[in-house]
Amino acid sequence: MKGQRLPPQVGEWIDRDQPIPFRFEDERLVGLAGDVISSALWANDVRMTGRSFKYHRPRGAYSMAGHDANTMLSDGVRTNLRGDLTLLQPEMDLHAVNTAGGVKGDRLRLIERFSKLMPVGFYYKAFHKPRWLFPFHERQMRKVAGLGRINPDFESAASPKDYAWCDVLVVGSGPSGLGAARTAAEAGLTVMIVEQEPALGGSLVWQHGRDELARQQRLDHVRALQKHPRVTIRTATTVGGVYADHWIALFDDMRMTKLRARAVVLATGAIEQPAVFGHNDVPGVMLASAAQRLVRHFAIQPFERAVVMAANSHAYEAALDLAQAGVQLAAVVDLRPEGEPSGLAGQVEDTGARILTGSSVFEARRSAGGKTVSGALLCPLDRQGRAEPSKGELMACDGIAVSVGWAPNASVLSQAGVRFRYDQRLQQLVPDELPRGVFVCGRANGVYELSAQWADGSRCGQEAARHLRVLSVDPTPVGSLRDEAPHSHSYPIFPHPDHKDFVDLDEDLHVTDFANAHQEGYDSVELIKRYSTVGMGPSQGKLANVNSVRILARLNGRSIEETGTTTARPFYQPVPLRHLAGRRFHPLRRTAIHDWHAEQGAVFVHAGDWLRPEYYAQDGASREDCVLSEATRVRRQVGLIDLSTLGKLIVQGPDAVAFLERIYTGRFARLAVGKSRYGVVVDESGVLVDDGVLARLGEDEFYATVTSSGAAGQHREMLRWALIWGLEVCIVNATGQLAAMNVAGPASRAVLQSLADVDLSDAELPYQGATRASVAGVEATIMRVGFVGELGYEVHIPCWESDHVWRAILAAGSDYGIAPFGVEAQRLLRLEKGHLIVGHDTDALTHPLEAGMGWAISRKKRFFVGQRSLQVLAERPLKRTLVGIRWPEGFAGDLPEECHLVVDGESIVGRVTSIAHRSTLGYPLGMAFVDPGFSKAGTPLTIRLSDGSTCTAQVAVLPFYDPENLRQQPPTSGDVGT
């Protein structure tokens, strides 16, 4: 059969003019465009496409619909590809996953010899003693278990995740799906049809290939939908998950689409279910629908000589399809004592096939090596439906096609909130309660007859249109469309003494495993699932759950309805993680002067969303040298730093003063226009949450800086309080609108004065003064600040014009030796000055009293947020205190990093919050939180380093630099708001 295809089939997917070369397990093969991997392999007579998960038994194409994990492959860096659903691509280099040494020579196949030692749940009971050996066991288990391997060299690739919208989503494109879509579209709705397979038609193609009327109906509907302006068709797309409010995750080879539909029609069809008999997993045993798919989709003759295992009419249809494809029908083995009531039985007999009623396949006989089917042992069934192998008959064949029943493709239905009941007449679950806006039709709804499926689809299309108020019709009652006869056998399970009668092909679970688990007390469907792992493999139980529930129901002596089913959760099929990640949007903020920084060799550091220059690299200089050089320049000459990341809030209105008095711990009512003051914000529990400078620019207008990362939160919190208090205040977050820069150092006034149109002298703009001005021709707000401990001016200007101002200041300062400094130099300078950084030196529990900021809390105000908590805290002894720490000049030992612990013997008595290994003062210094008993100046502190060694620091008085504040004009007495 190798390389041969059948004559053209109605609706076939392949393009016979396009050969596709590929490799499987290093063998060069050729498929056709339109082939999926599984079909291309079968066309090349490759029957063994994988190895089973636990015993490493040979496995081959089974469902041809992606409902099994038998054909899971890797192609270079792509792994766990579903062979049934993945289109063949030129030069694929395919290898079966889960083998050691290839699918043919898999060394791990020896595991099967020890299968008796590996009953269900054996790994829960073994390997934990002796305890010291567990790591070894774990390593070996991890090597053996699992499927595809992650390639660490895989280059990360973004997936173009997107959004889509429609009025009606129709899932599935069989007769009911096509009918629903066309009806809804013709009612004026936008419709999206999602089909898992590469072409529309569903069962119309593979199941009704001999039916000319069905072919014509399919073509008619498909053409109409393809031309319809309101219809979007997405083939080769899977519904991965259904979430609240008709939020649906669609997956194709490229992406995930987040779809929002106003109504959902689920025409997902039914999944043919396997029969359980001895060695029912051998390559060559497959679902009858899989054999039909090979014939109709890919024009492949599945077998030379076949046995068909039957329990419904479909089996006979499949047998006739096989016969038409040239397969010699050895026998149709019908589980039903009465056999097939329709005329199909006569047609099958006309092919020369024997029909054995009240019989079953008891065992698939295997060729040497167990890699293909060589025959089937057929047995009559007794009155209880048990096989009688003693009366068995061996029949030679190379394929066994199984059609004993169906289960609704219910996973996405369950996710959508559909509730089911077990219909005894149909022997399957049928929808019982539907959520609003969700409709189910076709075989998923228990409707099997073709004309009824068309009608059921139209009914759902009408229901959806009626739900969306574009149509008013009376729907056809559902019950009248369902068949009278069951399409599923109630217990197609025939235990075999070899214990290779598989219920779950993914997990290599056989009938005895369930009996053993039940005997151990796992008697509920949820418990047995977790203990045995049934349904937890890559197929998520699509072929295993129904039979496992049947077995459990029988073991418990209860009905299927009483036994229940497990919960279906997303995803319907495994999906690549990169599809979930999408483009991985990580918003990044750049200051308006970013390009200049980059041109000047800035080394950037992430600060929240922001990118900030950490320092400016200099040829041959280390990071520490660069930072120290920048800081020294500020101390001695003048430096310029980009402060655009500062949070900036504008507070205006007649109640602005009253509002700020309640927000900040300090007093602002008496702050004069043109002056600024440091402010602290605490939350209701007294925790220090933000700080900054408030400048009063008008009677009712304040400009406040807050921490870079706290701006959005502080703005939101202010809005909330303003609303609660009902104050007339206008609060604007100008963080992204305004840039800011600080020109600092002894020469800063001279530099800025040359560009400003206002007098910057001490008389006109003293320390903590603020004014509006024009700087380099740009409207600006200037605030005189001292964060780095030097004479300094913050200049706040509109973003669009900040690059111009930045360059102008640098040009004006060139004669004074001006240069930019980065955030690391700023941290060093402020540390020397003893200024803390909220969120850096403080944590989520720090209150101002322990941070040494009691001076910033007004005791005269009637109210501010957190006041009561601070009053309570003030009455309690402090648990820790923020102190300065230092080492002697020239200290050459190891130094701690931030967050290293301060210890006293075995006790933790503090932690380092900031550290500078080098400073402009010539010695290492930092800050630390310590127990109050260790806070006295001069106290030696033992700090444990990462390697376990310790170093000793000494508590120092803050600030380290300019304690007299001589570098600034001293603040006037009214400026400290206590």
Partner 1 sequence: MSTRRSPIQAMLATAVGGILSHDEKLVKLGLKGPALMAWLQQKDIGVPAALHEVHSLSSDAVMARVDSDEVIVESMPDEPLRQQILTALETPLPGLYRVPQQTVTFFLPREEAGCLVLAQACGVNMTSVTPETIVLTRVAGVSCGLIAHSRPKARFRLWVDYTYAPYLWGQLSQITSELP
Q: Which is nearer to partner 1, 704 or 865 (by Cβ)?
A: 704
Strands 509-510 and 399-403: unpaired
Q: Which residue has the tokens 């008095």?
A: 661
DSSP percent split of the chain into helix, strand, coil, nearest 5: 25, 30, 45
- CB 652 → partner 1: shortest distance, Å? 5
- CB 654 → partner 1: shortest distance, Å? 7
Question: In a 3-state reduction of DSSP, which class is residue 514?
Answer: helix
- CB 756 → partner 1: shortest distance, Å? 15
- CB 431 → partner 1: shortest distance, Å? 29
- CB 597 → partner 1: shortest distance, Å? 12
Q: Which is nearer to partner 1, 800 or 855 (by Cβ)?
A: 800
Q: Which is nearer to partner 1, 193 or 650 (by Cβ)?
A: 650
DSSP string over 912-931: EEEEESS-TTSS-EEEEEE-
Q: Which is nearer to partner 1, 150 or 158 (by Cβ)?
A: 158
Cβ atoms of residues 351 and 329 within 8 Å: yes
Q: Which is nearer to partner 1, 102 or 654 (by Cβ)?
A: 654
- CB 732 → partner 1: shortest distance, Å? 5
Distance of CA 907 to CAs 842, 904, 910, 930, 931, Å? 21, 5, 9, 12, 11
Q: Which is nearer to partner 1, 253 or 843 (by Cβ)?
A: 253
CA dihedral 927, 929, 933, 935 (to 10 degrees): 20
Q: Which is nearer to partner 1, 499 or 589 (by Cβ)?
A: 589
Q: Which is nearer to partner 1, 708 or 920 (by Cβ)?
A: 708
Q: Which is nearer to partner 1, 738 or 930 (by Cβ)?
A: 738
Token output for 827? 């941290």
Q: Which is nearer to partner 1, 173 or 781 (by Cβ)?
A: 781
Token output for 934? 């260790």
- CB 240 → partner 1: shortest distance, Å? 17
- CB 643 → partner 1: shortest distance, Å? 13
Please choose, from the candidates 361, 399, 920, 195, the residue with its C-alpha nearest in 3D space to the C-alpha of residue 628: 920
- CB 606 → partner 1: shortest distance, Å? 13
Identify the H or E element spanning 402.
Answer: strand 399-403
Distance of CA 487 to CAs 317, 423, 473, Å? 13, 11, 31
Omega before residue 798 within 30° of 0, cis: no
Cβ atoms of residues 503 and 534 within 8 Å: yes
Segments of 419-464 assigned E as strands: 419-423, 428-433, 438-440
d(CA 227, CA 221): 10
Burial letters 676-713, b for 16+ CB under 10 A, else e: bbbbbbbeeebbbbbbbbbbbbeebebbbbbbbbbbee
d(CA 613, CA 620): 18
Q: Which is nearer to partner 1, 647 or 834 (by Cβ)?
A: 647
Strands 738-744 and 730-733: unpaired
Strands 399-403 and 285-287: parallel
- CB 955 → partner 1: shortest distance, Å? 41
Token output for 975? 């400026």
Please choose, from the candidates 325, 290, 318, the residue with its C-alpha nearest in 3D space to the C-alpha of residue 38: 290
d(CA 881, CA 846): 10
Distance of CA 684 to CAs 431, 663, 664, 864, 868, Å? 52, 10, 12, 9, 8
- CB 607 → partner 1: shortest distance, Å? 12
Q: Which is nearer to partner 1, 153 or 599 (by Cβ)?
A: 599
- CB 595 → partner 1: shortest distance, Å? 5
Token output for 280? 């029912």
Cβ neighbours of residue 138 closer than 8 Å, sequence gap 6 or more: 127
Q: Which is nearer to partner 1, 515 or 734 (by Cβ)?
A: 734
Token output for 417? 């909130």
Q: Which is nearer to partner 1, 331 or 593 (by Cβ)?
A: 593
Q: Which is nearer to partner 1, 672 or 732 (by Cβ)?
A: 732
Identify the H or E element spanning 560.
Answer: helix 560-563
- CB 5 → partner 1: shortest distance, Å? 32
- CB 765 → partner 1: shortest distance, Å? 23
- CB 322 → partner 1: shortest distance, Å? 41
Q: Which is nearer to partner 1, 699 or 947 (by Cβ)?
A: 699
d(CA 716, CA 694): 18
- CB 808 → partner 1: shortest distance, Å? 9
Distance of CA 856 to CAs 590, 710, 768, 896, Å? 33, 19, 15, 30
- CB 627 → partner 1: shortest distance, Å? 25
Please choose, from the candidates 706, 42, 639, the residue with its C-alpha nearest in 3D space to the C-alpha of residue 398: 42
Question: In a 3-state reduction of DSSP, which class is residue 573?
Answer: coil
Cβ atoms of residues 373 and 390 within 8 Å: no
Q: Which is nearer to partner 1, 400 or 776 (by Cβ)?
A: 776
- CB 710 → partner 1: shortest distance, Å? 16
Burial of 930 (0-12, 13-18, 19+ CB in 10 A): buried
Q: Which is nearer to partner 1, 110 or 732 (by Cβ)?
A: 732
Question: In a 3-state reduction of DSSP, which class is residue 251?
Answer: strand
Binding region for partner 1 (CB under 8 A): 158, 160-165, 258, 260, 583, 585-592, 594-595, 609-610, 644, 650, 652-654, 728, 730, 732, 734-738, 776-778, 798-801, 803-805
